[in-house]
Amino acid sequence: MTRRKKIYEGKAKILYEGPEPGTLIQYFKDDTTAFDATKKAVLEGKGVINNRISEYIMTRLNSIGVQNHFIKRLNLREQLIREVEIVPLEVVCRNIAAGQFSTRFGVPEGQALPRSIIEFYLKDDKLHDPMVAEEHITAFNWATTQEIDDIMALTLRVNDFLTGMFGAVGIRLVDFKLEYGRLYEGDMVRTVLADEISPDCCRLWDVQTNEKMDKDRFRRDLGNVTEAYVEVARRLGIVKQAAAGGESVH
């Protein structure tokens, strides 16, 4: 195989040069980090399952007109994507209080929010991804007012779709994080969804038992992390059964 140029290595994925200009290959690692990468582990098979879940969700979002960077899955760990200029924001959408939100605002974990709330965090590990307001975003040109409007509208559409999709298989979508990018096409620039959508960046609770089926299993040392991700994929019909040898999450 020809040696591909590595463009970027992040905490959970690697980006390689793609086969054509304007494309990249996104490789899903098993590496997992939390709390500003102070907590680290390698969870065998996690990258494989996230590659599949993200493929599934991005494909379904594309089919309802939410444009994104996904082109096609290449193999177990890699997908071909369109290269975008990442908007340096982590866009968080919350339906139920949990995690940082509960700590920051004193709202008990599990309490339904009066409406979905979108928050912006600056994507900057050195600064520990501080929460930012529209004022900061536009003043520092991290995104324009138009981009913020587009991002909010798209995020609410993604939230509606994912809430229904997970709800149909007995999973509550508590919150999730998205990243967006600028896709340049000639003189045109479009805001599209990028990065990944997987249990690494969503909070997913079993509707019946409230059992966590996401990265909080890793953050809170609950065990069976990959097994829970596989169960999410199984319920969505992406994989047929739980991985051989893996303990059930129930």
Of 11 and 60, nearer to ligand ADP (C-beta) is 11
Give CA 248 to chain center in angstroms: 24
195 lines the binding site for ligand ADP (CB under 6 A): yes
- Residues 50-63 as b or e (16 or more Cβ within 10 Å = b): bbbbbbbbbeebee
**Using CB under 6 A, which residues numbered 69 to 88 contact ligand ADP?**
69, 81-84, 86
Stretch of 8-16, 58-66, 210-218, 232-240 contacting ligand ADP, by CB under 6 A: 8-16
Tokens found for residue 32: 């997992």
User: Which residues are CB-neighbours of 152 under 8 A, at least 6 positions away?
Assistant: 118
User: Which residues are CB-neighbours of 223 under 8 A, at least 6 positions away?
Assistant: 217
* Residue 48 CB, nearest approach to ligand ADP (Å): 15
13 lines the binding site for ligand ADP (CB under 6 A): yes
11 lines the binding site for ligand ADP (CB under 6 A): yes
Report the distance separating Cα 164 and Cα 141, nearest Å.
Answer: 34
Report the distance separating Cα 174 and Cα 103, nearest Å.
Answer: 15
Tokens found for residue 169: 């298989």
* Residue 8 CB, nearest approach to ligand ADP (Å): 6
* Residue 7 CB, nearest approach to ligand ADP (Å): 8
181 lines the binding site for ligand ADP (CB under 6 A): yes
182 lines the binding site for ligand ADP (CB under 6 A): no
Phi and psi for 182 in degrees, rounded to 5?
-100, 120
* Residue 194 CB, nearest approach to ligand ADP (Å): 4
Q: Which of 10, 110, 130, 223 binds ligand ADP (CB under 6 A)?
A: 10
Of 123 and 235, nearer to ligand ADP (C-beta) is 123
* Residue 146 CB, nearest approach to ligand ADP (Å): 20
236 lines the binding site for ligand ADP (CB under 6 A): no
Report the distance separating Cα 197 and Cα 225, nearest Å.
Answer: 16
Sort strands 188-194 and 85-86 into parallel, antiparallel or unpaired: unpaired
Nearest to 205 by CA among 96, 93, 68, 52: 96
Of 195 and 214, nearer to ligand ADP (C-beta) is 195
Please give the residue ranges that form the binding site for ligand ADP (CB under 6 A): 8, 10-13, 15, 24, 69, 81-84, 86, 179, 181, 194-195
